[in-house]
Amino acid sequence: MGLLFIEKSQLIDPFGCVTSGSILMIITSHLRHHITSIYEKDPFSRKLRGYDCDKPRWQAVQSVISKLNCRIGMKGFFNTQLGSDFYSLGCPSSSARIASSKRKTKIFRRKCRPRGWGVAVAVVLVVAAAAEMVMCDGGKSLKWNLQRASHDGVELSQLRDRDRARHGRILQQKPSGVVNFDVEGTYDPFLVGLYFTKVQLGTPPKEFYVQIDTGSDVLWVSCNPCIGCPTSSGLQIELEFFDPSSSSTASLLSCSDQRCASGAQTSESGCSDQNQCGYTFLYGDGSGTSGYYIQDSIYFDTTGGNSLTSNSSSPVIFGCSTSHTGDLTKSDRAVDGIFGFGQQGLSVISQLSSLGVTPNAFSHCLKGGSRGGGILVLGQVVEPNIVYTPLVPLQPHYNVNLQSISIKGLILPIDPTVFETSDTRGTIIDSGTTLAYLAEEAYDPFVTAITQAVSQSVRPILSKGNQCYVITSSVSEIFPPVNLNFAGGASMILKPEDYLLQQSSISDAAVWCMGFQKNDGQGTTILGDIVLKDKIVVYDLTGQRIGWANYDCSLSVNVSATTSASTSTGTEFFNTAQLDNSSSHTNDYELIRNSILALLLQISICRVFTIFMTPRE
């Protein structure tokens, strides 16, 4: 039994805010759905399972209803909406049930004072009331909401230039030392098509917008003072500067600290004067950032145990950048820093895992479409239908063994050695890449097979060097799915929207172009956001594997794992607590509470609009 979810568009007014009426109706819908699922057994069965109307669980349901009525000034609202459902299941209506006991009368018949507190009070109350309804075992899972700078209106050539510049960095990156290389085009890590989130650092905590990047290892933010750091952003976000002197929990990482040697891009020259463990990131186009490592608190939401706990914290080492050069000094697409999720020792996921805060695994679900968004979770996702393939060992990036590509059951005529991992070949999964790139020898067979499969229904054209198609009907009805076949028997099935991008319209027709690009002169295949979107992607670093499953990223996910500090097995790390269909009936009651949490964690009360980007002139 899954949760009942409703699209965010049904909750939001034209100004991007959640309306009070909509959230009340959605909460009611969630309660009705799950309470009904519990009580829809016959009376004998209910008693066997402990679901009799006289049991404390029913009283807890009534408690939630009463608190909702009183605290948000909607006396009788939930009784009216839900009472008939309970009565039809053989349980008395809420008003009759409350009147049947003096003790209950004392609890539930207190005077309700209508208030115009609006949705915020309703949200807080639902969490508090729901927490009383269930006891669940569990540790902690960490969760961040993601935002996305859209690539609507940006031509493929611009996205390709941005990706190629990035690939010049990640493909030549070494585990340590200073990186210096030549790249094509203009490097700009904050160009459109990237996902970013907010993190809280320091004491008292300050919020920073950081880009999510599985192609790098270190979390770094701009610090005060900073030479060349932008002070404003074209993303319409307020940039912040971290000041170690203003945080009571900040401490410098000295050069003698053994953790300094494990830091990516550590610069020995930074140790000469102040014994600070320094770093330098240099890029071939002349841009770069440098600074020093510090240790301070990072804050996060945790879900587990008996309640939702916000702003839990843990000490982590991160970069404090004091100088930017080149394109990093520009403000049009600036954010506060980069959140690296690589495998090196100073990545946040590695640090939190070593401290026993979270399992050595993380997952992201990047929502497709122009508005983007998604969720980032530290913990092991256990949603059904996830398939896994092994990571290639001893690689600085998330390399996997792609073995073949098939369309309509036919394997394309591509030499398997094209995909083998070596110093110059291999397949990388990278959330910082917007499009997808096939090794040069694989690109032409791929495009040829797609074109032949749709030749009777579309008109192939070349547009600015890109293979495009003019179509007059739904792209999903014309183009075939594509199977990427990996080691271990795992396949990633791509819908047409996962390898095509709509570029324009001509009269009654639409022009769709290949989102897969040829990696000219390169033997590397890179799977970026166009492929990863609308999927749960699981990075299991303990098991050295990557998994995925198609998923609606507006829903919650269930995370279950054991931290390195745990002594027992089977500890549950709830994120937003969706339970899969195989859950036993003993978990049904938990769904009432979990469904409310899922709703609340997916909604921002008056959320910041996702920024839509315009192409650079």
Q: Return averaged pLDDT per consecutive 10 residues of the chain, 617 residues in all.
A: 36 40 47 45 38 44 47 41 39 39 34 33 26 31 49 52 49 29 22 69 94 84 95 90 97 89 58 79 69 93 51 90 90 87 89 88 84 78 89 92 96 94 88 87 95 91 89 93 97 96 85 91 89 93 95 80 38 31 31 34 30 33
Instruction: Tell me whether residue 402 is in a domain.
Output: yes
Task: Among 378, 407, 436, identify where a domain stops.
Answer: 378
Q: Are residues 325 and 409 in the same domain?
A: no
Q: Output the pLDDT for position 283.
A: 53
Output helix, strand, coil percentages for the chain, rounded to the nearest 5.
Answer: 30, 30, 40
Active-site choice (161, 430, 498, 534): 430
Write down the residue that tokens 């230039």 correspond to.
161
Task: Among 330, 354, 378, identify where a domain stops.
Answer: 378
Verify whether residue 430 is a known catalytic residue: yes
- SS3 string of 262-300? CCCCEEHHHHCCCCECEEEEECCCCCEEEEEEEEEEEEE
Q: 563, 580, 578: which is closest to 361 by C-alpha? A: 563
Q: Output the pLDDT for position 505.
A: 80
Cβ neighbourhood burial of 205 (10 Å; 0-12, 13-18, 19+): middle
Q: Are residues 463 and 418 in the same domain?
A: yes
Instruction: Tell me whether residue 611 is in a domain.
Output: no
Distance CA(405)–CA(414), nearest Å, equals 8
Q: Output the pLDDT for position 154.
A: 53
Q: Are residues 266 and 201 in the same domain?
A: yes
| Tally of domains in the chain | 3
pTM over 0.95: no
> Which residues span the domain enclosing 221?
141-378
Q: Which residues make Cβ contacts (< 8 Å) with residue 311, sequence separation at least 6? A: 200, 205, 299, 300, 301
Distance CA(529)–CA(159), nearest Å, equals 12
Task: Among 328, 361, 378, identify where a domain stops.
Answer: 378
Q: Are residues 222 and 308 in the same domain?
A: yes
Instruction: Tell me whether residue 555 is in a domain.
Output: no
What separation, in Å, do the N-terminal and C-terminal C-alpha atoms of the chain show?
A: 51
Task: Provide the CATH number for the domain around residue 304.
Answer: 2.40.70.10
Distance CA(177)–CA(270), nearest Å, equals 13
Q: Classify residue 17 by its DSSP letter.
A: B
Q: Which residues make Cβ contacts (< 8 Å) with residue 106, sequence separation at least 6? A: none
Q: Are residues 290 and 254 in the same domain?
A: yes
Query: Is the CB of residue 195 less than 8 Å from the CB of residue 147?
Result: yes
Q: Are residues 348 and 303 in the same domain?
A: yes
Instruction: Tell me whether residue 493 is in a domain.
Output: yes
Q: Are residues 109 and 150 in the same domain?
A: no
Q: Are residues 36 and 106 in the same domain?
A: yes
The CB density around residue 150, as the number of other CB atoms within 10 Å, is 17
Q: What type of residue is 302?
A: T
Verify whether residue 85 is a known catalytic residue: no
Length of the chain: 617
Q: Are residues 205 and 343 in the same domain?
A: yes
Active-site choice (85, 213, 498, 540): 213
Q: Are residues 145 and 129 in the same domain?
A: no
Instruction: Tell me whether residue 226 is in a domain.
Output: yes
Q: Are residues 111 and 175 in the same domain?
A: no
Instruction: Tell me whether residue 100 is in a domain.
Output: yes
Q: Classify residue 611 by its DSSP letter.
A: P
